[in-house]
Amino acid sequence: MSRTADVDLVFARAVTVSTVVSALAEAGWSLEEPLGLSYVVNDDDSFDWQATSVDRADEILSLLDSPENRAFDVAICVYHPEAGTGGQLLFPPGRTRCYFLPTIYRRSLPGAPRLTDIAWYLNALVPALLPAGLLSYEARDLAD
């Protein structure tokens, strides 16, 4: 049996990937994860993830935020080095929503290793995103 965990984040207005990443950086998150820097522009429905070096971060954020990519899903991985966990931030067209999926060394609940420690992720994400206009969130951990 597999699990799906995610946090759906809703913003009061459209956001940029750069704005969200910058807000998370203030709370200890980084674009540098175990594979370097991972991102995707889903312009062909293949979700073909790319990995590059973190020194290209500004270039990649510009690409993800570019007007020609606003009609596509874009995503980037973030990692919290102090906590040793991270995941994917997926931005659909419209950019008033963002989905966080804990895919990098997912934290589990003490005493219940099959369940995701959603509370930890909420505490690490929500306060950091309030200045970016976070309006609401919905979190879930489901067995497939």
Question: First vs last Cα of the chain: how many Å apart?
Answer: 6
Q: How many residues can be counted in the chain? A: 144
CA dihedral 78, 82, 85, 88 (to 10 degrees): -10
pLDDT higher than threshold 90 for residue 3: no
| pLDDT tens string 55-97 | 999 999 999 999 999 999 999 999 999 999 999 999 999 999 9
pTM: 0.94
| pLDDT tens string 25-64 | 999 999 999 989 999 999 888 889 999 999 999 999 999 9
Cα dihedral sign, 144-110-86-23: positive
pLDDT higher than threshold 80 for residue 144: no
- CA 37 to CA 117: how far, in whole Å? 24
